[in-house]
């Protein structure tokens, strides 16, 4: 029976030769993830069940990244709960303080997730790992607690939509523009409980950093997962960092899909998602009258080395507009150190930007960049819901690192081409 990559992983992990969309399965998982917002709930449910030990201490990851460093007493108490549980259970994958990173940048980098894995995470952007050829999806904290206890999770096998990206990318167009364009096309519920399988010659040429950005935002179209078939780029990335064996699954040529959607990337220009839904997209060139108060570059979507290099290239030798706060958040400690080694941090600071330690920070309106009433931000993060980054009377526009960096200099939404 022909199957696509998502179906193959779910079949393998549930001990079946084949599965079909709509089928209910109980599957063995390779990793359970939770953070400083979602883990406390999972830990409480874990204890309430009477459980004493996690099913496998090497397959539970706790990352206190949302309020790093702790911003107040409540966040400190939540982090303390993770810390005590991690030490009690002797968890292999607990990352705190100087070792912490933004979870969805950190776990691939550290080789904790590899091709063929089945991952559940108490965070909606767990779908990021689909870029590695892993079936990864967000779950509620109670499902995470069950996973920690048993090493299992239930799934309804989802339908898959195949997205094919053809043509050639225009200058300054990145994977962030591709996924924003896609969400703008299908809508925030266009892939509801479906797998988004990203394919085509353009995807084949993307770096792993760029691929992770695309899969990260599958949830913004309602996707259950955002998968890519592993190739040489994938395997080159995981070699030397993988902490356990991987298994490559790829879609059969005659696999079935609910639908196939094709895009000519040569027709796509830098894209911006306007308030207050990711689907509300427009070309950046049409938004030149929108002034910005804050530019955020980072997050689990665009806080990797490739993103920082793009931003530094644009900011080098220039100055952030005097009325703009430009905040830059690296995804992990290793990215921070590499940016330091390459002189990027000096470039950012000399340009007038603020360079932070790895943290989710302002993405969820947590801290270190909250918007006041009436303020506008352009951000490389993944959501722009009402009140997402602060006041319910503020506005957030989503964009690529190139557009966010250029906008920080211009004081308005614009592209690097506008700086000439």
Domains identified in the chain and CATH numbers? 5-247+255-262 (3.30.499.10), 273-419 (3.30.499.10)
Pairing of strands 354-355, 93-94: unpaired
What is the pLDDT at residue 233?
A: 98
Compute the mean pLDDT over every residue in the chain, rounded to the nearest whole number: 97
Cβ–Cβ < 8 Å for 418, 288: yes
Mean pLDDT of 379-390: 97
d(CA 126, CA 224): 10
d(CA 269, CA 113): 32
Q: What percentage of the chain exceeds 70 in pLDDT?
A: 100
Residue 299 has pLDDT above 90, yes or no: yes
Sign for the CA dihedral angle at 93, 99, 101, 105 comes to negative
- Closest by CA position to 400, among listed 165, 173, 104, 128: 173
Mean pLDDT of 112-139: 98
Residue 276 has pLDDT above 90, yes or no: yes
pTM: 0.97
What is the pLDDT at residue 159?
A: 98
Sign for the CA dihedral angle at 171, 176, 178, 181 comes to negative
d(CA 176, CA 182): 10
d(CA 393, CA 100): 32
d(CA 395, CA 154): 38
Residue 282 has pLDDT above 90, yes or no: yes
What is the pLDDT at residue 105?
A: 98
Per residue in 58-84, pLDDT (tens digit) is 999 999 999 989 999 999 999 999 999
Per residue in 131-147, pLDDT (tens digit) is 999 999 999 999 999 99
Residue 323 has pLDDT above 90, yes or no: yes
Residue 213 has pLDDT above 90, yes or no: yes
- Closest by CA position to 215, among listed 14, 6, 379: 6
What is the pLDDT at residue 79?
A: 96
Question: Cα dist. 270→180, 223, 295, 402, 414 in Å?
Answer: 9, 23, 16, 9, 9
Per residue in 159-207, pLDDT (tens digit) is 999 999 999 999 999 999 999 999 999 999 999 999 999 999 999 999 9
pLDDT band at 420 (very low <50, low <70, confident <90, very high): confident
Mean pLDDT of 242-254: 98
d(CA 15, CA 64): 33
pLDDT band at 98 (very low <50, low <70, confident <90, very high): very high
What is the pLDDT at residue 1?
A: 87
d(CA 133, CA 419): 38
What is the pLDDT at residue 47?
A: 98
Residue 249 has pLDDT above 90, yes or no: yes
Per residue in 397-409, pLDDT (tens digit) is 999 999 999 999 9
pLDDT band at 217 (very low <50, low <70, confident <90, very high): very high
Cβ–Cβ < 8 Å for 401, 304: no
Q: What percentage of the chain exceeds 90 in pLDDT?
A: 99
Residue 158 has pLDDT above 90, yes or no: yes
Three-state secondary structure string covering the chain = CCCCHHHHHHHHHCCCCCCCCCCEEEEECCEEEEECCCHHHHHHHHHHCCCCCCCCCCCEEEECCCCCCCCCHHHHHHHHHHHHHHHHHCCCEECCHHHCCCHHHHHHHCCCCCCCCEEEECCHHHHHHHHHCCEEEECCHHHHHHHHHHCEEEEECCCEEEEEEECCCCCCCCHHHHHHHHHHHHCCCCCCCCEEEEECHHHHCCCHHHHHHHHHCHHHHCCCEEECCCCHHHHHHHCCCCCCCCCCCCCCCCCCCCEEEEEEHHHCCCEEECCCCCCCEEEHHHCCCCECCEEEEEHHHHCCHHHHHHHHHHHCCCCCCCCCEEEEECCCHHHHHHHHHCCHHHHHHHHCCEECCCCCHHHHCCCCCCECCCCEEEECCCCCCCCCCECCCCEEEECCHHHHHHHHHHCECCCHHHHC
């Amino acid at each position: 029976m022909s199957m696509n990559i998502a179906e193959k992983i779910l079949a393998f992990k549930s001990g079946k030769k084949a599965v079909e969309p709509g089928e209910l399965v109980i599957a063995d998982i390779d990793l359970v993830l939770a953070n400083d917002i979602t883990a406390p709930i999972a830990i409480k449910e874990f204890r309430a069940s009477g459980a004493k030990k996690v099913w496998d201490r090497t397959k539970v990851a706790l990352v206190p990244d949302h309020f790093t460093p702790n911003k107040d007493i409540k966040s400190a108490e939540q982090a303390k709960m993770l810390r005590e549980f991690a030490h009690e259970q002797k968890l292999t994958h607990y990352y705190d303080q100087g070792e912490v990173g933004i979870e969805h940048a950190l776990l691939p980098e550290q080789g904790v997730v590899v091709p063929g894995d089945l991952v559940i995470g108490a965070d909606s952007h767990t779908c990021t790992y689909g870029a590695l050829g892993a079936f990864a999806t967000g779950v509620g904290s109670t499902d995470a607690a069950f996973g920690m206890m048993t090493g299992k999770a239930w799934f309804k096998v989802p339908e898959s939509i195949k997205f094919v990206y053809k043509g050639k990318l225009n200058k300054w167009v990145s994977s962030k523009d591709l996924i924003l364009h896609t969400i703008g096309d299908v809508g925030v519920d266009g892939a509801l409980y479906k797998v988004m399988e990203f394919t085509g010659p353009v995807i084949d040429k993307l770096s792993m950093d760029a691929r992770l950005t695309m899969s990260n935002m599958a949830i913004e179209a309602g996707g259950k997962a955002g998968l890519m078939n592993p190739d040489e780029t994938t395997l080159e990335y995981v070699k030397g960092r993988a902490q356990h064996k991987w298994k490559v699954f790829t879609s059969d040529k005659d696999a079935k899909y609910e639908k196939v959607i094709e895009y000519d990337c040569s027709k796509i220009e830098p894209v911006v998602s306007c308030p207050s839904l990711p689907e509300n997209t427009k070309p950046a060139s049409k938004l030149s009258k929108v002034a910005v108060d804050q530019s955020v570059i980072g997050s689990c979507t665009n806080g990797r080395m490739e993103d920082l290099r793009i931003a530094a290239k644009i900011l080098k030798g220039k100055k952030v507009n005097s009325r703009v706060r430009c905040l830059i958040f690296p995804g992990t400690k290793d990215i921070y150190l590499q940016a330091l080694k390459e002189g990027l941090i000096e470039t950012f600071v000399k340009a007038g930007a603020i360079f932070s330690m790895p943290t989710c920070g302002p993405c969820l309106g947590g801290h270190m960049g909250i918007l006041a009433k009436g303020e506008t931000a352009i951000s490389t993060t993944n959501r722009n819901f009402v009140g997402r980054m602060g006041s319910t009377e503020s506005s957030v526009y989503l964009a690529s690192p190139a557009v966010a960096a250029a906008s920080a200099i211009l004081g308005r939404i614009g592209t690097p081409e506008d700086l000439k």
